[in-house]
Structure 1
Amino acid sequence: MNWPVAKRAGVCLHLTSLPGSFGIGELGSNARWFIDRLKEAGLHAWQFLPLGPTAYADSPYQPLSSFAGNPLLVDTETLVDQQLLRSHEISSLEQLPHNTVDFGKLIPLKTALLRKAATRFATHASPAARTAFDEFLHLHDDDWLADYALFRVLKTMHAERPWTQWEPNFRHRDRAALAGIEARYAAEVHSEKIIQFFFDRQWRGIHQYASDQGVTLFGDVPIYIAHDSADAWTGSDILQLDDDGQPTHVAGVPPDYFSADGQLWGNPVYDWEFLEKSHFGWWVNRFRHAMTLMDLLRVDHFRGFEAYWSIPFGARTARDGQWVNAPGDALFSTLRQELGELSVVAENLGVITPEVEKLRTDHDIPGMVVLQFDAAEPDFDVAAIDEHTVVYTGTHDNDTTTGWFNGGPGDTRTDAEIEEHQRLVTHNTGGEPQRIHLDMIELAFASAARLAVVPMQDFLGLGSETRMNTPGTESDNWRWRLTRPQFDSGLADTIAMMVADGGRD
């Protein structure tokens, strides 16, 4: 297992948030620059969000595939260097903002450029590049790539409508109908495969570079898959779907103190009976693939492997759901038998029962502690944080620490409640309001947790305007970007001193 043998520190920054000149973070020189800065700062882990191709609300947690990479991350400069794009052709991307991602403008521009590069690769690739592409096809075409490429072409044909709104022969994957599309749109299908090859080749280069610099790549595996995805279209047996492909039950979480109606996520829930009878083959393939891309994996919504909140499809809120047991012990036993020791961390937040914790500890899986959830509690004690833990100041779903401390947008607390919250936090951290982000980082670093991860925004002391995601909303998320001047040598030196003071290697 790729678990630190000594106390280590890391950063959370999604790939889209990397700096650069082409509208979004990419897998090129800026990713290598960031890894160099991490090494300089004494940070040995880089955590990021899921890598799949985004669609709905640009969320990395609703990918079009659990296996494919996000084409928007493909490095533009590399394609120019390989003479697959011309310098003048990329000027449209250079006009996009540098400190935020404007997905609405970016997606059509970059998609057109990627398809142009793929067409040139198909006709002008060197013998060595063709051989590498053929090897990529040999490894992945039968497992997921062919289906994903066909899915993307069909989505384009249907103006991006969900697959459940396609004609029945496409919806139900009629062999003759699909063969006809593959023949008629052979070039387009081939281009989608080439674009995935671009991503794979660039990603593995970044992975190797990070390894050479002693930086662990810490990825994310969402428990649920998007309904409108190649996974659901090709694997309807693993989900609770009706004959038309619509879910019979969907995922969410029950009502609690924070939400009277609970949360209705809408993802189809798994047919665990089928999965168990098939020896969890789909899950084995999913983890095997993820483990080739990343060194350490966060398993999102871990409690759903012990029991999940199942809501009838069509319900207006999550109130109508119920807990249904899941075969988590059998699943993780099978994964360990097939793949060896798993380099995973459980996102064990929310409604965590003794049964969930038993599943986690029985399989020796580290858990998480988020200081924003605990540091304002009267009985908080940093010494209670176990070493078999990843401690965070906050996650991508939290406000920045500065925003959280001051009371960000949408905060429903009274001024008196915010003041009491601030009093407890400063008391528990032993810090000062003006530097609360640094106090929280120092608290995380001082804990016994083997790994401490801090969002990049917290290292910078930024406010709510740079928050990555606000759960339950669909706009203005996933957009923040770092700029190179923000992460200068001075900040790297400051972080390195905090890492050393916290006894982290």
Structure 2
Amino acid sequence: MKDRPFRRRRGGILLHVTSLPGSNLGIDAYRFVDFLAEAGITVWQILPLGPTHEDLSPYQCLSVHAGNPKLISLQFLAEEPWFGVCDIDLSDCGVALWQGYRRFTLYASQAIRAEFAAFCREQAFWLEDYVLFQALRETQDNAPWFEWPQKLRGHVFKELGAVGQELETLMDRNRFEQFIFFRQWSRLKNYANGHGVLIFGDMPIFVAHDSADVWARPEYFTVDRGGRLTAMAGVPPDYFSATGQCWGNPLYQWDRLEDDGFSWWLERVRTQLKLCDIIRIDHFRGLESYWEIPAGSKTAVKGRWVKAPGEALFRALEDSYGSLPLVAEDLGVITPAVDALRDQFHLPGMKVLQFAFEGGPDNPYLPENHLENCVVYTGTHDNDTILGWFNSLSEDKRHHVYECLGFPTEPMPWALIECAFQSVAKHAVVPMQDLLELGSEGRMNLPGMIENNNWRWHFNWPQVKPDLAARIRYLVSHYGRL
């Protein structure tokens, strides 16, 4: 690709912001950037940054544009000049943000107020829908919007007219929270870029049903006038599931989106380009064709493949933004048509080493079958750690793995980590859990499981061995990724 991120070989680490010791944009995030720079790592891959539901999944957010206020560093907030000398409850994010908002309205300088006003103007194309949605949601005890009174379902800003002082205050506080999030994120991203580190973000293909996006623009999604799903996203039965998977997301009304010049997608990508240097498109195959499941289905068996206008969408994106730093998540059962769409726009795909050791010599994940225009991973946020995966294998399969790797002298996980950095792939990314040599206790997500510890893992600095940065830097340098 011609994009700056893919001009040369790079090494990366996958770690979501919530997995930092402080789980926010505070001092630990800056310390982590320092660690990356010391290790010679130039790509920090994260998960989506949006506000999550109670299950904490960053792939089912309340907005495709907004940042998660829970990622705001309360310590940095308390250090703002307008906050003044005041106790802040660092244990309660909600209370602390209310306190910050009140002090901002009372004591902020004219300069910072002007910065806030400029932010609200520039982001109005999504911000006003979002803050009204969130304000209404709070008045409805955070119930999903499609369970609200009928008069509040759909985009009702004009119908509401004067929204009342309570809603006005809630809306303004939500504007403030987004202002603070984007301000803190911009500072962190600038710090990372200044240390030679690119931010590799993640964009889920589908949108949560309970989101500001579907509430504000229901005509773009498969929902009826009451907000109920008429069709939903998922994947068909396969080797991993005899009944497939029902994700519960609405699908897109692609004809309407295309009639509007894909403006909704253009705005979405505009936000992501502000947040990140590289963007992974999750479930890329859904932009070529997607599995449509009738609403109310308990399984994904009775679905059908429906063609998506992926080529037209990418042409519209290129017309607006030029060649984009996108990566296609092309894992799973991929058809020649999906490969063709990816290759037509020269998008790097993904190779996951944990998938390399089943099947025959034509397995595309085997190191010898890698392509230069791809990103290689030891595993992703949906996989077990290297040690957890390797230890679950039979002795024969472990032997087979080492045989495929040429019987390296390093034990796991470092044998597979070195294999990733050695790959011809332009980018090699390793989850932090693997670098910390963690077992299954470090797994970030177990797909299809809700009642567990998904999305809650984080590391602590004592887990980082004193020589870890130097060990990583040696591999990065040795394999031409420095």
Q: TM-score, normalised to structure 2's length?
A: 0.95
Q: What do the CA deviations read for 1:434-467 (whole angstroms, capped 9, x no partner)? A: 8211000100111100000000000111010110
Distance in 2 (alpha carbons) for counterparts of 1:269 and 1:357: 22
Q: Which residue type is aligned with residue 90 of structure 1? A: D
In structure 1, the partner of 2:63 is: 65
- Structure 1 residue 304 and structure 2 residue 289: aligned? no
**3-state SS in 2 of match to 1:472:** coil
- Structure 1 residue 390 and structure 2 residue 378: aligned? no
- RMSD, aligned α-carbons: 1.6
Question: 1:434/1:376 Cα in 2 relative to 1: closer, same or farther (>3 Å)?
Answer: farther
Distance in 1 (alpha carbons) for counterparts of 2:347 and 2:435: 27
Maintained 8 Å contact 1:69/1:199: yes
**3-state SS in 2 of match to 1:291:** helix
Q: Which residue type is aligned with residue 493 of structure 1? A: A
Distance in 2 (alpha carbons) for counterparts of 1:376 and 1:457: 23
In structure 2, the partner of 1:101 is: none
Matches within 5 A, 1:184-333: 184-333=166-315
Question: 1:434/1:341 Cα in 2 relative to 1: closer, same or farther (>3 Å)?
Answer: closer
Maintained 8 Å contact 1:376/1:421: no
Question: 1:86/1:352 Cα in 2 relative to 1: closer, same or farther (>3 Å)?
Answer: farther
Q: Percent identity?
A: 44
**3-state SS in 1 of match to 2:242:** coil
Q: What do the CA deviations read for 1:396-437 (whole angstroms, capped 9, x no partner)? A: 000001001112xxxxxxxxx622321211211235698211
Question: 1:71/1:86 Cα in 2 relative to 1: closer, same or farther (>3 Å)?
Answer: farther
Pick from 43, 46, 49 the counterpart of residue 44 of structure 2.
46
Pick from 124, 132, 138 the counterpart of residue 150 of structure 1.
132
- Structure 1 residue 435 and structure 2 residue 414: aligned? no
Distance in 2 (alpha carbons) for counterparts of 1:433 and 1:476: 34
Query: Could you list the runs of 5+ residues in structure 2 that have no partner in the other structure?
Result: none
Displacement, 1:182? 4.9
**3-state SS in 2 of match to 1:160:** coil
Displacement, 1:89? 2.7
Distance in 2 (alpha carbons) for counterparts of 1:492 and 1:140: 39
Query: Could you list the runs of 5+ residues in structure 1 that have no partner in the other structure?
Result: 94-108, 408-416
In structure 1, the partner of 2:454 is: 477
- Structure 1 residue 460 and structure 2 residue 436: aligned? yes
Q: What do the CA deviations read for 1:1-51 (whole angstroms, capped 9, x no partner)? A: 23332211000000011123xxxx111221111111001001100000000
Displacement, 1:378? 4.6
Maintained 8 Å contact 1:151/1:230: yes
- Structure 1 residue 89 and structure 2 residue 74: aligned? no
In structure 2, the partner of 1:446 is: 422
Question: 1:121/1:434 Cα in 2 relative to 1: closer, same or farther (>3 Å)?
Answer: same
Maintained 8 Å contact 1:367/1:389: yes
In structure 2, the partner of 1:16 is: 18
Distance in 2 (alpha carbons) for counterparts of 1:12 and 1:150: 34
Maintained 8 Å contact 1:56/1:62: no
Maintained 8 Å contact 1:431/1:439: no
In structure 1, the partner of 2:110 is: 127
Q: Which residue type is aligned with residue 470 of structure 2? A: D
Pick from 367, 370, 373 the counterpart of residue 355 of structure 2.
373
- Structure 1 residue 418 and structure 2 residue 394: aligned? yes
Q: What count of residue pairs does the alignment treat as equivalent?
A: 475
Question: 1:447/1:122 Cα in 2 relative to 1: closer, same or farther (>3 Å)?
Answer: same
Distance in 2 (alpha carbons) for counterparts of 1:245 and 1:183: 27
Distance in 1 (alpha carbons) for counterparts of 2:51 and 2:409: 40
**3-state SS in 1 of match to 2:246:** strand
In structure 2, the partner of 1:110 is: 93
Question: 1:433/1:162 Cα in 2 relative to 1: closer, same or farther (>3 Å)?
Answer: farther
Q: What do the CA deviations read for 1:328-354 (whole angstroms, capped 9, x no partner)? A: 000001110111111100000112000
In structure 1, the partner of 2:468 is: 491
Maintained 8 Å contact 1:150/1:182: no
Displacement, 1:273? 0.8
Q: TM-score, normalised to structure 1's length?
A: 0.91
**3-state SS in 1 of match to 2:232:** strand
Q: Which residue type is aligned with residue 459 of structure 2? A: L
Distance in 1 (alpha carbons) for counterparts of 2:58 and 2:333: 23
Question: 1:333/1:176 Cα in 2 relative to 1: closer, same or farther (>3 Å)?
Answer: closer
Higher mean C-alpha deviation, range 458-467 or range 368-377: 368-377
